[in-house]
Amino acid sequence: MSTASRRILRYGLVREALLALCICAAVEAAEPSSPTAAVKLTVGAVIGILTDEALAGTDQQERRRQMLETTVGRRFDYREISRRAVGRQWKRISESERREFAALFQVFLAGRYADRIEGYANEEVQYLGERRENGYAEVQTKLVSDKVDLPIDYRLFFKSGDWFVYDVVINGVSLVKNYRSQFRAIMHKSSYTELVRRLREKTIAEP
């Protein structure tokens, strides 16, 4: 091998090594080390989307909402949220029914809360503290502006090296408990099939 070839090879290896280091550093920086860091990472990404001028306006609404749903979906474990909201019935349904329900519930929640999230673009998020115990955590935050002073607590669990949200408590009202109460009433009065039908048709009441 010629001297020039060896130099090119060395340059290529060094460049690849530097690139690998940069990628590893970026991944490490993106991985939250605590529940609060996890929430901050997602909330920051959401605010970034809401304040991006390139995504402003009604003509960008669909694209903006898709990006918001993707960002929130990376942090929220909709299967776990569904399991907790359905309650005991979750053990009685098949795996395919569980996947179907989680997918429907994700679409339902995204549709219900999209407008609410977009309305928070100009509010300040204050991080008040966190509690951890045995792989579970709660991050206390407050949404503050001239018009609102709203406590929002995120409940998370640790899985596969990261923190995921399984419940949100808004002004003292648990999203999971609220829907569990509604779901239980529907299933008690009718059936699980009726619950799925109503979820698909988006006729469940908003908390």
Best CA proximity match to 71, nearest among 52, 99, 95: 52
Task: State the burial class of residue 72 (Cβ atoms within 10 Å of its Cβ: 0-12, 13-18, 19+).
Answer: buried
Q: What is the pLDDT of residues 35-80, one digit of tens each?
A: 999 999 999 999 999 888 888 888 888 898 899 999 999 999 999 9
Say if residue 103's pLDDT is above 90.
Answer: yes
Say if residue 170's pLDDT is above 90.
Answer: yes
Q: What is the pTM of this model?
A: 0.80
Average per-residue pLDDT for the chain: 84
Report the percentage of the chain scoring pLDDT > 90. Answer: 61
| CA dihedral for 30, 32, 33, 37, sign (positive or negative) | positive
More confident residue, 24 or 33: 33
Say if residue 7's pLDDT is above 50.
Answer: no
Which residues contact residue 207 at a Cβ distance below 8 angstroms, ignoring those fewer than 6 apart?
170, 173, 175, 178, 179
Measured distance CA(168)–CA(170) in Å, rounded: 6
> Which CA distances in Å does 189 have to 83, 175, 184, 198, 206?
20, 22, 8, 13, 19
Two tokens at 43?
A: 């909330």
Two tokens at 90?
A: 């979750």
Say if residue 25's pLDDT is above 50.
Answer: no
Q: What is the pLDDT of residues 136-151, one digit of tens each?
A: 999 999 999 887 899 9
Is there a contact between 173 and 166 (Cβ–Cβ < 8 Å)?
Answer: no
Query: DSSP character for 163?
Result: E
Q: What is the pLDDT of residues 119-132, one digit of tens each?
A: 777 788 999 999 99
Beta bridge partners of 149: 144
Say if residue 21's pLDDT is above 60.
Answer: no
Two tokens at 103?
A: 């997918």
Residue type, 129: G
Residue type, 15: R
Say if residue 117's pLDDT is above 90.
Answer: no
